[in-house]
Each structure stands twice: as structure tokens, then as C-alpha cells.
Amino acid sequence: MNYANNADVTGNLIRGGAKKCLFIYNAHKNLIWDNRFQDCGIGIHFTAGSEKNILTGNAFIANREQVKYVGTRFMEWSHEGRGNFWSDHPAYDLNGDGVADGSYRPNDLIDHILWSQPAAALLTGSPAVQLVRWSQSSFPATLPGGVTDSHPLMRPLTIPVQSDIEAFEADIAGRWAKGNYDDIDPDDIASH
């Protein structure tokens, strides 16, 4: 979403193989709800001062990194008591209302350092980094600005896929992993 404003984005299933399921750049006042972002490098990359967007009812499943928010503002990603589902959130729901009893915060200070200084990844297992992460989880006031989902959902949204689309997906499964990125043969005009 590049410079998209006042849009409704709903009912999308984005899964597998993409570096980013959703990239939001300088987009404002959008309602992003009931989508499923699955098996990507980054579930959602949010940057460039994008403001007043509402994210609710989405499912972020098995993305290597759920959220990459490049900014210092505090962003709330729930709306009217309904947040999003996060597959890496170790949540519990004691009252059974379908909403986790604890907030979800995908990124911390270490993530921000890793985004700006990728070589620092060598230190992620060090005791110092673990101490910083423990401190931030124990004392939330030490957290930098970023995304918080105060009402994360306990169950993911399911988006049905038509049988002809599933057959098409099965037919091409694994092609990208084998390095076949281009099906067009420049000498065969029928392949265009």
C-alpha cells in the first residue's frame, strides 16, 4: 500500500514465499480488517509516517517476523476491543471470550537495533541481549515506541480457497524454491 488513503482492505489471503505479506508506506486512514497473512518473511512492514490506520481481525501466522515497524510512535493495533491473531503470541484466555488476557507487542529495542545494524544479529544469543529483552518484558516503561495489540485474538481467521485455486497452487508448488522464477521463453511467442 503505497500512498493509499481511506481504503478498506479486507478478505485477502496472502501466504507463502513473499518477503513481505503487506507493505504499508505513507498510507493513511485505512481500515485493514479480516485478512490472513501467512508464511512470509515479514507479515507486515509499516513505515514512512503512516498514520491513523486501523488493523483489526487479521491473522498473522508463521511469518518469520510478524511486524517490522520502523518508527518511534506508539501504535495500537486493536479496535473497539478486537485485535488480531498472532501465531507467536503465547496467549491464554481465562474468561473464554476469545480475546487473550495479555497484550501482544511484536518488537522491542533489540529488533530496532537489528533493523538498523544487521551485523548485530551475531549478539542475539548473548546474555546482555537476553537481559535487555527480559528487562523490557518486566518493565514495559523501558520499551521504545512501537506496535501494541491490546486485545489479541485467540483463534485465527480462516479464508476459504476455491478448489480450482487450490489445484492451481498445487500445480505450481515448489517451483519458486527450485529457482524457476520466469516461465516466459523469449523464443516461444506462445509462452507470453
pLDDT tens column, 35-82: 999 999 999 998 867 889 999 999 999 998 899 887 778 889 999 999
- Does 112 share its domain with 152? no
| Contacts for 115 with CB less than 8 Å, ≥ 6 apart | 68, 70
- Does 90 share its domain with 137? no
Query: Domain range spanning residue 139?
Result: 108-144
Instruction: Report the predicted TM-score, pTM, of the whole model to 2 decimal places.
Output: 0.75
Measure Cα distances from 122 to 107, 115, 117, 125, 128 in Å.
18, 13, 11, 8, 12
- Does 18 share its domain with 60? yes
- Does 30 share its domain with 6? yes
Return phi, psi of residue 114, to 5°.
-65, -35
Residue 120 within a domain: yes
Q: What integer is the mean pLDDT of 90-102?
A: 92
- Does 44 share its domain with 19? yes
| Contacts for 76 with CB less than 8 Å, ≥ 6 apart | 148, 149, 150
Please name the amino acid found at residue 94: L
- Does 117 share its domain with 162? no
